[in-house]
């Protein structure tokens, strides 16, 4: 299949203007395929040749202005439209299309719980052409009139209000002008909860087997939806631009969610069937706000080409966190962003695959390249840059600029230059220079404090290693004794003040301090800029005893991130990070911080940065830490913290006895009861440790035959320390080609286990050829999964690194696999460096 190049898109946009699509989908043709009949109305400005994208199973017929086209000319996903004359045209296409099992195009899923079938579409980035023929580029917007034939009794959802005229025959209200990648339907026996808000229909939808869980959370979901909707109408002058707002929780979804106008689709793991923490509920709320922000950023005003992904994702990310904090009970979202999301951006920005937030268009030459930029740069770094922009510009001017942007470009397309011009109309600051420094560059600046004693006190200086301007807040903290008898102490905020650090300025004299030396200096207190921070020696000594005594969680997030960065940069031994976690997490009150620190300690420090000989002791430290947290929560006052500790203790368990007792009894002493998520988590760990066999896994699957149960069983079977089980898992991933995207991922997650390195060592050299082949056969989603989850990350060795580099240089991996391999190998090389320095 060919990809669309930027030059081709520009040429086609100069030639044609798309007006209207009439699309009929017939979903009653069996398990493998569906029918598409489409009429496309468009105009050519001059005489010329072009093409339309279509990836059919069979192209039955194509007629242009009443003249038949040869179906055999449709190759590599393109049907030529030759010798067009200036003026209006009408293209009719009748085709058979194939359902997807990988979350691309029209995905088909049969629920193992009850045998019901569900469909949904995912058209981004260039997968609309897997559903219907189209000019598949974001700047050829059009109106869409959809009709659907579906099995009787199904619900069919789309971008507009749907009407079932006769049983199984659905018609949707015609859309406003939108891009092809935003067209969406979902069809099946969905369970629906419907209401109205501000005169608009609102709906929640999920599989019938998840209905009780959706019903349990419906009030929370709808309250968050309404609150965000109202808050956006306070911020934005342009009202919500579509006729309804449905949110469908769909199975085997590759992303977190997708901003289809009027029909947002979410991965249905957000319909919680097991206990979750408040931080996880907060994340779900943020995703709801993020996708709603897209109704303006992306759907109303759309990027012209995919170099401006940040205009969609960075804004939705920033608005998602900010609006959740302003409009819902989750008022501390930026702490979670700081400890969980921001490190995603920091890590991505230090890899060879990094790119500017707003790259030069020449760096995004085609859709395959663009697809790789939905990453930590476009989301986390971009949102961080916008947060810094608001701090520097002021929220009033920022909102005035984006409202002008919406007004000038609604239902049309815009570029970075358009956005900057609209911002500049409302401020005297040089936003173009700011954008050049922040959006057009890569890498992370580093800020380091130093104190010089003077006659009047101390001179605080900030060393600036980098090129960007920064508006930062600096916090000064003093140790204050709480009890002479116990020597208990806390850190007290002495003062905060703002400092502007100009671009390309290596050193800034921040302030002259009077009085005694502060015990702790925190640069970027409040986390308003995007930069690594370091500590002076005195501050670092203070943190050894005072880290759990900081007064605000956002300050703690900044500090923990600084320690994380120091470990990754080889400046702080990984064992020291683990010691800090062991010393301070038992007293940490913020759940997001506990979850973030435990996750980094387990997945990076223990599994990758420490040599294998030190891993058992490190796991024991994690286990002891989790036991302390469990003891702390015995009174039932912190259920989320207890759940987090139980989860991590299960994952760190080196001996099966305790968790096997939990599994057999059905609960953890003192709670919680084992719900399906915890049962599968324990069974997964017991599988790794060789404490269960396939019969136990099969028995558990009989008790939980759901889709999540199927994934849990696949993960457990692949994790068994048995050569036969490993061979079967390998065949399923790389040879069989029948696994869905989710079952592929679950199998890969189970396969590579640090405790089993000797058992799977022979598979390591086989991995690269196998991943190349499956990515080529099965496409980008599986290529991504093969690189992300199928990679032998447990094999931290020069040999693994050498083989991977050879693969990149010699074998030309598909773009999605190449990107994942580049990132995995960079992480592997970093792990080797950290081990060498420890």
Is 668 inside any structural domain? Answer: no
Nearest Cα residue to 650 out of 609, 700, 685: 685
Q: Which of 400, 420, 442 is the last residue of a domain?
A: 442
In a 3-state reduction of DSSP, which class is residue 268? helix
Cα 119 from Cα 106, distance rounded (Å): 7
CA distances from 546 to 320, 395, 520, 551, 709 (A): 32, 34, 9, 10, 43
Report pLDDT for 484. Answer: 52
Which pLDDT tens digit goes with each residue over 148-161?
A: 999 999 999 999 99
Asked if residue 169 and residue 222 are part of one domain, the reply reads no
Asked if residue 55 and residue 27 are part of one domain, the reply reads yes
Asked if residue 394 and residue 538 are part of one domain, the reply reads no
Q: Which of 189, 216, 231 is the last residue of a domain?
A: 189
Report CA torsion sign: 408, 410, 414, 416: positive
Is 568 inside any structural domain? Answer: no
In a 3-state reduction of DSSP, which class is residue 696? helix
Asked if residue 449 and residue 433 are part of one domain, the reply reads no
Which pLDDT tens digit goes with each residue over 154-209?
A: 999 999 999 999 999 999 999 999 999 999 999 999 999 999 999 999 999 999 99
Which pLDDT tens digit goes with each residue over 558-595?
A: 999 999 999 999 999 999 999 999 999 999 989 999 99
What is the full DSSP assignment across 287-321?
HHHHHHHHTTBTTTEEESSGGGHHHHHHHHHHHHH
- Counting the structural domains of the chain, the total is 4
pTM of the predicted protein model: 0.97
Q: Which of 416, 442, 468 is the last residue of a domain?
A: 442
Is 159 inside any structural domain? Answer: yes
Asked if residue 238 and residue 216 are part of one domain, the reply reads yes
Nearest Cα residue to 567 out of 347, 819, 248: 347
Is 35 inside any structural domain? Answer: yes
Asked if residue 780 and residue 823 are part of one domain, the reply reads yes
286 and 333 Cβ atoms separated by less than 8 Å? yes
Give the residue numbers spanning the domain of 759: 728-838
Which residues are the active-site residues? 291
Beta bridge partners of 248: 205, 265
Q: Burial level of 271, CB count in 10 A (0-12/13-18/19+)?
A: buried
Sorted by sequence, the CB contacts under 8 Å of residue 128 that are 6+ apart come out as 53, 134, 136, 180, 181, 183
Report pLDDT for 266. Answer: 98
Report CA torsion sign: 541, 544, 549, 550: positive
Which residues of the chain fall short of a pLDDT of 50?
Answer: 486-487
């Amino acid at each position: 299949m060919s990809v669309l190049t930027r030059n081709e898109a520009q040429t086609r946009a100069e030639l044609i203007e798309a007006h209207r699509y009439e699309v009929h989908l017939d979903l009653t043709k069996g398990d493998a395929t569906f029918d598409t009949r489409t009429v496309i109305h468009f105009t050519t400005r001059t005489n010329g040749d072009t093409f339309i994208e279509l990836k059919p199973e069979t192209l039955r017929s194509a007629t242009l202005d009443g003249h038949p086209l040869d179906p055999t000319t449709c190759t590599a996903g393109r049907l030529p439209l030759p010798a067009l004359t200036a003026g209006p045209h009408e293209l009719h296409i009748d085709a058979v299309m194939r359902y997807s099992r990988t979350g691309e195009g029209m995905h088909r899923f049969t629920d193992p719980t009850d045998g019901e079938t569900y469909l949904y579409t995912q058209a981004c980035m260039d997968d609309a052409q897997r559903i219907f023929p189209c000019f598949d580029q974001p700047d050829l917007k059009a109106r869409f009139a959809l009709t659907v034939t579906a099995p009787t009794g199904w619900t069919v959802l789309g971008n507009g209000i749907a009407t079932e005229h006769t049983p199984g025959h659905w018609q949707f209200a015609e859309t406003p002008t939108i891009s092809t990648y935003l067209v969406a339907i979902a069809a099946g026996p969905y369970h629906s909860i419907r209401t109205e808000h501000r005169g608009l229909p609102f709906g929640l939808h999920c599989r019938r087997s998840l209905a009780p869980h959706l019903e349990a959370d419906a009030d929370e979901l709808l309250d968050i939806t309404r609150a965000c909707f109202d808050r956006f109408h306070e911020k934005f002058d342009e009202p919500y631009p579509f006729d309804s707002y449905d949110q469908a929780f769909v199975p085997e979804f590759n992303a977190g969610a997708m901003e289809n106008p009027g029909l947002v689709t979410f991965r249905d793991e957000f319909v919680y069937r097991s206990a979750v923490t408040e931080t996880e509920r907060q994340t779900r709320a943020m995703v709801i706000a993020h996708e709603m922000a897209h109704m303006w950023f992306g759907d109303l005003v759309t990027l012209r080409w995919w170099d401006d992904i940040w205009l969609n994702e960075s804004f939705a990310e920033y608005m998602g966190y900010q609006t959740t904090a302003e409009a819902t009970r989750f008022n501390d979202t930026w702490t979670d962003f700081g400890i969980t999301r921001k490190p995603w951006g920091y890590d991505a920005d230090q890899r060879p695959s990094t790119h500017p937030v707003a790259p030069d268009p020449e760096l995004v030459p085609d859709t395959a390249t663009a697809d790789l930029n939905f990453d930590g740069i476009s989301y986390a770094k971009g949102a961080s840059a916008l947060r810094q922009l608001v701090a520097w510009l002021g929220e009033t001017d920022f909102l005035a600029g984006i409202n002008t942007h919406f007004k000038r470009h609604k239902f049309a397309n815009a570029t970075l230059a358009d956005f900057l011009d609209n911002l500049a109309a409302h401020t005297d600051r040089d936003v173009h220079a700011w954008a050049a420094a922040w959006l057009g560059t890569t890498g992370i600046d580093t800020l380091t404090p130093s104190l010089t004693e003077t006659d009047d006190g101390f001179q605080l200086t900030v060393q600036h290693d980098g090129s960007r301007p920064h508006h930062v807040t600096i916090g000064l903290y003093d140790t204050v004794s709480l009890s002479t008898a116990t020597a208990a102490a806390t850190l007290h905020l002495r003062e905060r003040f703002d400092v502007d650090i100009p671009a390309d300025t290596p050193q800034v004299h921040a302030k002259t301090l009077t009085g005694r030396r502060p015990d702790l200096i925190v640069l970027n207190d409040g986390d308003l800029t995007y930069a690594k921070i370091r500590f002076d020696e005195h501050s670092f000594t203070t943190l050894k005893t005072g880290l759990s005594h900081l007064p605000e969680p956002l300050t703690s997030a900044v500090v923990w991130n600084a320690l994380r960065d120091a470990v990754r940069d080889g400046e702080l031994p990984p064992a020291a990070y683990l010691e800090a976690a062991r010393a301070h997490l038992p007293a940490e009150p913020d759940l997001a911080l506990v979850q973030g620190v435990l996750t980094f300690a387990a997945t990076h420090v223990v599994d990758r940065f420490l040599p294998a000989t030190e891993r058992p002791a490190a796991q024991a430290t994690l286990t002891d830490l989790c036991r302390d947290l469990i003891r702390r929560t015995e009174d039932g006052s912190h259920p989320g913290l207890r759940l987090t500790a139980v989860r991590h203790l299960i994952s760190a368990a080196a001996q099966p006895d305790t968790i096997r007792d939990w599994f057999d009894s059905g609960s953890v002493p003192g709670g919680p009861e084992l719900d399906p998520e915890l049962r599968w988590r324990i069974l997964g760990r017991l599988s790794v440790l060789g404490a269960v066999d396939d019969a136990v896994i099969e028995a558990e699957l009989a008790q939980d035959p759901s889709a999540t149960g199927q994934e849990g069983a696949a993960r457990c079977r692949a994790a068994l320390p048995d050569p036969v089980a490993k061979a079967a898992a390998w065949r399923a991933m790389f040879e069989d080609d029948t696994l869905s995207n989710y079952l592929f991922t679950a199998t890969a997650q189970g396969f590579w286990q640090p405790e089993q390195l000797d058992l799977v060592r022979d598979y390591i050299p086989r991995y690269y050829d196998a991943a190349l082949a499956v990515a080529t056969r099965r496409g980008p989603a599986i290529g991504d999964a093969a690189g992300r989850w199928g990679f032998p990350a447990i094999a931290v060795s020069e040999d693994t690194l050498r083989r991977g580099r050879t693969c990149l240089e010699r074998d030309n991996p598909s773009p999605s696999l190449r990107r994942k391999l580049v990132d995995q190998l960079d992480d592997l090389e970093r792990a080797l460096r950290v081990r060498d320095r420890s």
